[in-house]
Structure 1
Amino acid sequence: MSTNGPNQTIGLTTISRTVASLAVGVVHTLERAMVGDGRMRTARGNAWEAVCADRARAEQRRELDRLVAELAAARAAVRDRREERDPQPVS
């Protein structure tokens, strides 16, 4: 069955796909004109930015873990000094 006949109907999905395709083309052309070919966003560039962001978040988590460990050690040291100075009577 041929879809190129004279009685072919255009459905809502066909119109939506056409409009989306035209919109993507316009955005692509506009981006190329505004930022230039050398600064166009690419899948590779997006992936690298995601990798860099993941590394930065991991570094922040390590730094926070280190600070929490230092705080816990400092509190334990203070607690130990208090117990040495003021021993609690055992009943």
Structure 2
Amino acid sequence: MSNTQPNGLVEIPRSVLSIAVGMIDTVERAVIGPARVRTARGNAWEAICADRARADRHDEVRRLVSQLSVGSSPRSSASQAAVGPSAGRRPARS
């Protein structure tokens, strides 16, 4: 005689699992409050806020880098003076 009965969660009827999940949800709401229960909408909003904050940081870094122009540092000014004002320019076509 072979043992063909499933093991684990498959043995538990769906209604029992549904009741258990409902009870866990109720306990979570009672312990941390309904305003702090994580929902799909709340998770999506947190992801949007994180993306916006990341974009703001990226824009701030980009702005700071753009302020550091080539001629702003003493080293680059010295190297530009040593090379000459026409360095990097194409000769005029005649």
TM-score interval, smaller chain: 0.5 to 0.7
Q: What runs of 5+ residues in structure 1 fail to find an aligned partner?
A: 1-7
Unaligned runs of 5+ in 2: 85-94
Go from structure 1 to structure 2 and tell me whether the alpha carbon gap of 1:15 and 1:25 turns closer, same or farther (over 3 Å shift): farther
Change (3 A) 1:57 1:17: farther
Highest RCO, 1 vs 2 (Cα 8 Å, sep ≥ 6): 1
* Counterpart selection for 2:7 from 11, 15, 19: 11
1:10 aligned partner, one-letter code: P
Shift of 1:63: 0.7
Establish whether residue 42 from structure 1 lines up as the match of residue 12 from structure 2.
no
Match of 1:70 in 2: 67
Q: Relative to 1, partners in 2 of residues 1:55 and 1:9: Cα closer, same or farther, differing over 3 Å? A: same
TM-score w.r.t. the length of structure 1 is 0.58
Range moving further from structure 2, 58-67 or 8-17: 8-17
Which runs of structure 1 show a deviation greater than 6 angstroms over 4 or more consecutive aligned residues?
none
Residue 31 of structure 1 is matched in structure 2 by: 28
The percentage of counterpart residues that share the same residue type is 42
SS in 2 for 1:64: helix
Answer with 51-60 or 27-36: which moved more.
27-36
Q: Which has the higher helix share?
A: 1
State the distance in 1 between where 2:13 and 2:50 align: 33
Give the CA RMSD over aligned residues: 3.2
